A and B are shown apart, each in its own frame.
Chain A
Amino acid sequence: MFAAILLFAAVVGIILFIAGRFGGRRGDRVVAYSYLAPTLLMLLVGLVYPGIRTIYESFFDAAGDVFIGLDNYQTIFTDKDQLTVLTNTAVWVLLTPFVATAIGLLYAVLVDKARLESFAKALIFMPMAISFVGASIIWKFVYAYRPDQANVKQIGLLNQIVVWMGGTPQLWLLDWPLNTLLLIVVMIWIQAGFAMTVLSAAIKAIPGDIIEAARLDGVSPWGMFRFVTLPSIRPAVVVVLTTIGIGTLKVFDIVRTMTGGQYDTSVIANEFYSQSFRSDNQGLGSALAVLLFVLVIPIVAYNVRHIRRSESL
């Protein structure tokens, strides 16, 4: 570890030294390019080249030897298992951002100016610091199941609540689509804190005179929310929705840790991993990665356009 840090310190040091010899404005170009050199090199080798390479690989067969055109993409959109993957991904992306944002917004409004506001916020925010693996284990425990036996009781909270209400405990993660919904709960649990933080900051930034004016006009609390708060924080809401949406598209850890993608719970990002590293189907794996990339682009584009528009206002 220290060797790596030292090596990088040396590289940066040499760059600074060389750049330092070109004082004044004439040397600006030299300084610029030498400061940028390591970054550009790493990005070219580590992001640009691999990205292009993967697009290329996605037109080849499982072993990467035979060119098969669009067959991998055709598989994604026709194979029964792959269609389940697509359906699940769609459910994830449609549900997670909206529910997480709604809960985050509701909570931000509810605790605004409340006593212990920062403590209340930290409670919701905390899951963001926990790894997806850690969060998955936490929720696996909530969903845990014990068969009915004399000396063994339910250890999972969800089943215990079912028992308390007079129902029979069940294996929650076996049946589609309930299992996918229960996995989505984990992602919502993690992301709501992010939504709350950003939206809370946006709410606090609403100019006081607008609120004052609305209040003098006798706007009702609901009207205040609907006609003052919501329009004012619209750009922030879009950013939160799109950010969570992108994160959700790429979610892999939760599915892998909780079900391993079994029982029809797989999503594109998890399927990519399974195909590439377990089923040794490099071509299909690459095609799934490319699909992920293609799906991210419109979300980002919408986001960027929205930010631009709200800035020009």
Chain B
Amino acid sequence: MTTAAPPSALDALEAEKPTAAAIATRKLTSPWASLAAIVIAVLWTVPTFGLLISSFRPERQIKTTGWWTAFSDPQFTLDNYRAVLDSEDGAGLGAFFINSLVITIPSVIIPLSLACLAAYVFAWIKFPGRNILFLSIFALQIVPLQVTLIPLLTLYVKADLANTFWTIWLSHSIFGLPLAIYLLHNFMKEIPAGLLEAARVDGAGHVSIFFRVLLPLLRPALAAFAIFQFLWVWNDLLVALTFAGGGDTVAPITVALANLSGTRDSAWHLLSAGAFVSIIVPVTIFLLLQRYFVRGLLAGSVKG
């Protein structure tokens, strides 16, 4: 909440202090500990790396030799990416990629703005039924999506929304709301009440308190939820499959990839390039905003 203080001597001392884990590792026969860490790191990196290398290799090469051959016989091309994005004779993932963007952006903004309002109320306004309502919303987090899909689909068909983006925007917004409200509420609770009281004494109403006092303070929480929701929506398959059908008008890239994987099992030149087209956006967001993501992870799941 406060800006980072300049590193003092005390901080340096703090950093020097060994943690329990560090002591355990250091004395745990260091070479073995390092080896174990490296083995895990390799196991976690090599599968992705192999597919990445493959996505740049010529089709014939991919299908007849392993990606590790690229080290002894390097041949690289962008043809796979061209083929996978092209809608004429390739897989046409380009259109699905756009759909993913169109799906994701409102699916983040809508629940975030609604949750701000709700969390504000739960954190700062006393009204009859507050606790029971908040608990109910918290509890709704445990409802698995599967339980809601078929009745929702029926509702959408009745409302004539089937096979439009609305079905997906609304569904993701609804499914994201309980977590968003819970996360934002936790952050809002930590804001000192005096700050709000002072604003009220100055004659500020709810709206101006909300925009002038709270929003700037809430930035980290908003960012945390936005990243969660972004990754969740971008990576979702179940909701999209249920509501969007398979066509390229509404379906996101995950659906296209899953279908490609089912029907053209051996088309590794398309699958590898396609996978990386779909991965590039969430991984970029993730790397840029990792800090907020971790903060949200810790605020949402572990207290203290």
Interface residues, chain A, CB within 8 Å of chain B?
A: 1, 4-5, 8-9, 12, 15-16, 19-20, 23-24, 28-29, 31-33, 35-36, 38-40, 42-43, 45-51, 53-55, 57, 103, 106-114, 120, 122-134, 136-142, 144, 151-157, 160, 189, 192-194, 197-198, 201-206, 208, 210-211, 214-215, 220-222, 224-225, 228-229, 232, 235-236, 239-240, 243, 246, 249-250, 252-253, 256-257, 260, 269, 272-273, 276-277, 282, 285-286, 288-290, 292-293, 296-297, 300, 307, 311
Contacts and interface: CB of A to CB of B under 8 A. Distances in A.
Contact of A36 (B118, B165, B258): B118
Interface string B166-183: 100111011101100100
A79 B151 CA distance: 26
Contact of A243 (B17, B106, B170, B301): B301
9 contacts: A20-B207, A42-B114, A45-B155, A57-B150, A110-B40, A122-B287, A129-B283, A141-B51, A157-B46
B33 A129 contact: no
Nearest to B64: A152
Q: Do most interface residues of chain A lie in helix, strand or loop, or is the interface mixed?
A: helix
Given A220-B27, A252-B238, 6 more contacts: A31-B121, A36-B133, A55-B147, A122-B287, A132-B237, A152-B64
A296 B137 contact: no
Contact of B24 (A36, A124, A224): A224
B278 A134 contact: yes
Given A107-B37, A130-B279, A221-B27, A297 B142 contact: yes
A282 B117 contact: no
B37 A228 contact: no
A36 B177 CA distance: 12
B290 A122 contact: yes
A247 to B, nearest CB: 11
Contacts of A157: 46-47, 50, 66, 68
Query: Which of B25, B34, B109, B173 has the most C-beta atoms of chain A within 10 angstroms of its own C-beta?
Result: B25
Given A5-B106, A8-B109, A36-B117, A113 B40 contact: no
A236 to B, nearest CB: 5
B20 A136 contact: no
Given A157-B50, A222-B24, A250 B174 contact: no
Contacts of B23: 211, 215, 221, 224
Given A130-B283, A155-B268, A229 B206 contact: no
Contact of B146 (A134, A229, A250): A250
B48 A138 contact: yes
Nearest to A258: B261
Interface residues of B, number: 114
Given A16-B207, A137-B271, A129 B282 contact: yes
Contacts of B198: none
B147 A290 contact: yes
Contacts of B234: 131
A5 B120 contact: no
A46 B174 contact: yes
Contact of B261 (A47, A109, A240, A257): A257
A296 B258 contact: no
Nearest to A226: B24
A1 B147 contact: no
A182 B261 CA distance: 17
Contacts of B298: 197-198, 201
Contacts of B301: 198, 239-240, 243
B54 interface: yes
Contacts of A128: 231, 286
Contact of A293 (B144, B169, B181): B144
Nearest to B171: A46
